[in-house]
Each structure stands twice: as C-alpha cells, then as structure tokens.
C-alpha cells in the first residue's frame, strides 16, 4: 500500500514537472509600452539616449525580446525620426539586432553640440519667468545628462 502511494506520488510529481516545462516560465507584459515616450528626432523632445534607455528598461521589466524592443521603438517613432526610419532600408531587415538599430539612429541623430556646450548651458542656466521650479530642475537635469553623455 505504501509502495503504491509512493509510486502514485512519483507519477504525479513527474506529471507536474512535465506541465511546468510546457508552460512558459514568464509572460511578456506589453502593457509597459506606455513607459516608452514617442520620439520625434528633434531637439525639442527627449534625447535619443533617453528614448533608448526607456525602451530597454520597459523591455527588462516586461520580459520583451530584442525583436520586441525594435518593433516597439519603431512604433514610437514620429515626425523626422519616422521619416528617417522609412527611408533606411537596412532598418527594415528582419534580422537586425537592437544594437544595430540603435547604432544607425545614433549615427544619424547624434548631438552636434559638444559636451562643453551643454556644460556651459548648465553653468549659466537661470529659471525662466514662466518656468516652474520643477520644469527648471528637469531642464537642468537634462543639460547635466547631455554634458556627461560624451
């Protein structure tokens, strides 16, 4: 009787292990798409490195694949960034990697202003008349990131 129970329990454990292996261990969370801002390719929006960083962080949290990151980034492009993507045939290659995708955009949309320029802007920054303290702090943080991005 005990032997039969042990055999039954062992069979049940094997069955549970088989079920666990068939089930994906993690589920992708695509609801995190909203964490990735739209990127226009202009100086007025967030810098390109912040766009890529937001995509990578959302991908890490949401268990996205590299292909998911590329597709999501494409969906979040607008204005001149979207036009650039549409023109570049190599960006449409299904075998492109995230690193390759980023490299192509970084080559085209690199910041032409030097780190020293941004550092000087940060040193001389003054709060604007219609700028809230939070907006001023955000602008200073952005300048600090750009001056250290080199």
Instruction: Give residue 24's pLDDT.
Output: 61
pLDDT digits (tens, 9 = 90+) for 108-141: 887 666 777 778 888 888 998 998 999 888 888 8
Instruction: Give residue 72's pLDDT.
Output: 92
For the chain, what are the domain ranges? 30-110, 111-150
pLDDT digits (tens, 9 = 90+) for 7-22: 888 888 888 877 767 7
Instruction: Give residue 111's pLDDT.
Output: 63
Location of structure tokens 């607008």: 78
CA distance 111 to 107: 9
pTM above 0.85, yes or no: no
Segment 32-43 shows an average pLDDT of: 83
- Judged against a pLDDT cut of 50, whether residue 150 lies above it is answered with no
Location of structure tokens 């003054």: 126
Beta-bridged to residue 77, according to DSSP, are: 39
Phi then psi dihedrals of residue 23, to 5 deg: -80, 135
Per-residue burial over 3-40, b = 16 or more CB atoms within 10 Å of its CB, e = otherwise: eeeeeeeeeeeeeeeeeeeeeeeeeeeeebeeebeebb
Instruction: Give residue 43's pLDDT.
Output: 64
Phi then psi dihedrals of residue 77, to 5 deg: -80, 145
pLDDT digits (tens, 9 = 90+) for 73-101: 999 999 888 999 999 888 888 888 999 99
Segment 49-64 shows an average pLDDT of: 90
pLDDT-derived band of residue 148, with 50, 70 and 90 as boundaries?
Answer: low
């Amino acid at each position: 009787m005990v032997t039969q129970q042990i055999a039954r329990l062992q069979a049940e454990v094997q069955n549970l292990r088989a079920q666990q292996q068939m089930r994906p261990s993690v589920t992708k969370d695509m609801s995190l798409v909203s964490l990735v801002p739209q990127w226009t390719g202009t100086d007025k929006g967030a810098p390109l490195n912040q766009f890529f960083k937001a995509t990578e962080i959302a991908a890490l949290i949401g268990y996205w694949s590299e292909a998911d990151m590329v597709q999501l980034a494409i969906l979040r492009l607008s204005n001149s960034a979207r036009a650039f993507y549409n023109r570049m045939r190599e960006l449409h290659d299904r075998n492109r990697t995230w690193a390759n995708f980023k490299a192509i955009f970084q080559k085209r949309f690199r910041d032409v202003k030097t780190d020293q320029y941004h550092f000087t802007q940060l040193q001389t920054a003054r709060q604007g008349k219609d700028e809230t303290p939070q907006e001023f702090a955000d602008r200073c943080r952005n300048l600090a990131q750009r001056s250290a991005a080199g």
